[in-house]
Amino acid sequence: MELLDAIILGIVQGLTEFLPVSSSGHLELVKALLGTEGMPEEQLAFTVMLHFATALSTLVIFRKEVFDIFMGLGNRKDATARHFSAKILISMIPAVYIGLNFDSLLEQLFSGKIMLVGSMLLLTAGLLFVSERTKQSQAEISYIKALFIGLAQGVAILPGISRSGATIATALLLQIDKEKAARFSFLMVIPLILGKVAKDFLSGEVHFDTENTAALILGFIAAFISGLLACRLMLRLVKNSKLYIFALYCALVGGAAILLSIL
């Protein structure tokens, strides 16, 4: 893999992991444009590194919240931390179930299906547009609402459906406070990404080629830095009700992807 391609893919992963425009969908589109399909083993190793980088950037941004959760779990009197952790675990159930039972099918969907990516981006645009116009309140995240948000995260495994967009939009449709919706969306994905990275490593299918070490490092750094910037930006945008910008963007990119697949 070329070094410039690695940097571009890293930036795309870091930005789109947090911005509601679908990281998986954009990576497929950029790979198709750059022609960086590569060997399956090489692509898997690179993808794992990019996902680990974005998980690490999330941990850096929410280090205080994560620390408070762990400290609260060790304190039997801190019911708030225990309930919040339980809601995070509940939200992970749909995505974990889908990942474990439909792994081979998902791999087929992530192989240059530009028409699918474009269609799902249009779906993401519609979801963001509707949620932006939902009457807001200061509702808390209940266990049932955590499960519904988790279902949205499970569906967002499809390339082209934004994970952050689907989870935040679902939370807003459930009339959850905007800032709480964004923070829950980003915190709930940390154990999921780290679990996926661990699963890939333990499977023995991840092989690091010394010839691609520089590309892996540059891609990791690019994804980490862009992830930090995108995460902070997204928190501000959700708070200030700017999701319509991404709805328009997803509609334009989705339409362009569909046209590209037809022509």
Q: What is the pLDDT of residues 45-59, one digit of tens each?
A: 778 888 889 989 999
Measure the CA–CA gap between 85 and 136, rounded to whole angstroms.
Answer: 25
* Predicted local confidence at residue 112, as pLDDT: 59
Domains held by the chain: number: 1
Q: How far is CA 173 from the centre of its chain?
A: 19
Domain that holds residue 213: 3-262
Surface-to-core class of residue 233, CB atoms within 10 Å of its CB (0-12 exposed, 13-18 middle, 19+ buried): middle
Measure the CA–CA gap between 110 and 216, rounded to whole angstroms.
Answer: 20
* Predicted local confidence at residue 91, as pLDDT: 92
Measure the CA–CA gap between 223 and 50, rounded to whole angstroms.
Answer: 6
Average pLDDT over residues 10-36: 78
Give the pLDDT confidence of 133-181 residue by residue, as tens digits: 877 677 788 999 999 999 999 988 887 888 888 999 999 999 898 888 8
* Predicted local confidence at residue 111, as pLDDT: 59
- Quick one: what percent of the chain has pLDDT higher than 90? 22
Question: Residue 68 above 50 pLDDT?
Answer: yes
Identify the band that residue 251 occupies on the pLDDT scale cut at 50, 70 and 90. very high
Count Cβ atoms below 10 Å from residue 263 Cβ, excluding itself. 5
Per-residue DSSP letter, 1? -
Average pLDDT over residues 224-249: 88
Instruction: Looking at mean pLDDT, say which of 21-30, 45-54, 120-129 comes out highest.
Output: 120-129
* Predicted local confidence at residue 222, as pLDDT: 95
* Predicted local confidence at residue 40, as pLDDT: 44
Measure the CA–CA gap between 111 and 172, rounded to whole angstroms.
Answer: 32
Extract the tokens encoding 30.
């950029």
* Predicted local confidence at residue 108, as pLDDT: 66
The pTM of this model reads: 0.82
Instruction: Looking at mean pLDDT, say which of 20-24, 93-97, 102-106, 203-207 comes out highest.
Output: 93-97
Question: Residue 220 above 50 pLDDT?
Answer: yes
- Buried b or exposed e, range 100-135, using 16+ CB within 10 angstroms: eeeeeeeeebbeebbebbbbbbbbbbebbbebbeee
Question: Residue 207 above 80 pLDDT?
Answer: no
Average pLDDT over residues 14-35: 77
Three-state secondary structure string covering 74-99: CCCCCHHHHHHHHHHHHHHHHHHHHH
Q: How far is CA 154 from the centre of its chain?
A: 11
* Predicted local confidence at residue 122, as pLDDT: 92
Question: Residue 119 above 80 pLDDT?
Answer: yes
Question: Residue 78 above 60 pLDDT?
Answer: yes
Question: Residue 38 above 80 pLDDT?
Answer: no
Residue scoring higher pLDDT (170 or 100): 170
